[in-house]
Amino acid sequence: MEKYTTEQIGFAIKCRNEGLSWTKVADKMVEAGFPKRSGANLRATITRIQGQYDVKVESNVPHWKDDPATRKQCKYISALTLKNGTKKELERLTNQLITSANKGDFTKEQAKGMIETLEGDVNKAEGTSYKGRKKSKSKKTNHKRWTSEEDDIVIEWKTTKGKYPPATLFKGRTYKAIVARWNRVLSKRNLNGTRTEYVNNHKKEDKPVTMGIATVSYPNTHKAWTYNESLEAMVMWHSLPIDEARQKFGRPYWVIAKHVEKHFDFYYDTSETIMRRATEIKNNMKTQSLPVKKSLLQRWKDRRSDRKSKKLQKKIDRTKKKLKKMEVKQ
């Protein structure tokens, strides 16, 4: 790997001052004709150089601190300044601040300093700081890009089975996301030869290839499990064959197995209760199926009756032989 030149270092720092991430800085450097480097490599090297030396790069990009103050800042400053003011007084002060901001006399940096000064007189426990009000919890969403394997699954289901695949086949995807992916992207593709490409790709990657046969639909696949169904599944899971289990619960076998595994891992709040009850039922079934052990006296009586029956059978056999001999002599 070539060493960093002053031109490369200056270009990277300039891109960072423009607000680009390290990954985009690496892409920009490749576009500019510099050697290809990762964002992590750039970050470590440039940070170390800036820590050792006072590197400054002139940039024509205006800084955000010099931008005019926002309407939200002006409103918040008015509220802090006139705590007991009327609505008209607040609007009048807000409009004056906005006018001065539009003229360039009131910047974001000045507004930030004024807010920090005014908040110094306010109780921090009330949570009225501008920074605290500005931040909000972001929703946890899956921004991961769709992979070719996920697209193949959606295409396979739509082309061969005529329906959308269940969301359980994907990690972090909802049913609405699958439908949107098909309508926006996959339905507009040329799907001729998709089956052949799918088979070839899976054989190259040594992955199993589906037969493309439509699966049987079950009435209770998307229905919630009741307490009695869960208990019965935990008790009868190991004794029911696949066909009987699917017919009994009205669900695919993998759905039943997944539900049983979740209860086994105590996924639900009722899992512990169901597991205990299922264990009790299984133990009762085992004790009922075991033969009752006879007492010592009863076993002695049984042996005695067996000996008598054997003696009687021997006498009967002897008499039969004698009768046969007498018939032969006559």
Q: Are 185 and 177 in contact (CB under 8 A)?
A: no
**For the chain, first and last CA: distance in Å?**
121
How large a percentage of the chain has pLDDT more than 70?
84
| Per-residue pLDDT at 139 | 47
pLDDT tens readout for residues 13-41 = 888 887 788 888 888 888 888 888 888 88
Calpha distance 236→287 (Å, rounded): 16
Q: Which residue has the tokens 């008499």?
A: 319
- In the chain, where the domains are located: 6-61, 65-123, 148-204, 227-289
| Per-residue pLDDT at 191 | 56
pLDDT tens readout for residues 195-241 = 677 777 778 878 777 766 556 788 888 888 999 999 999 998 888 89
Average pLDDT score over residue span 3-16: 82
Residues 25, 31, 34, 40: is their CA dihedral positive or negative?
Answer: positive
120, pLDDT greater than 90: no
Average pLDDT score over residue span 260-287: 88
Calpha distance 27→10 (Å, rounded): 15
pTM above 0.75, yes or no: no
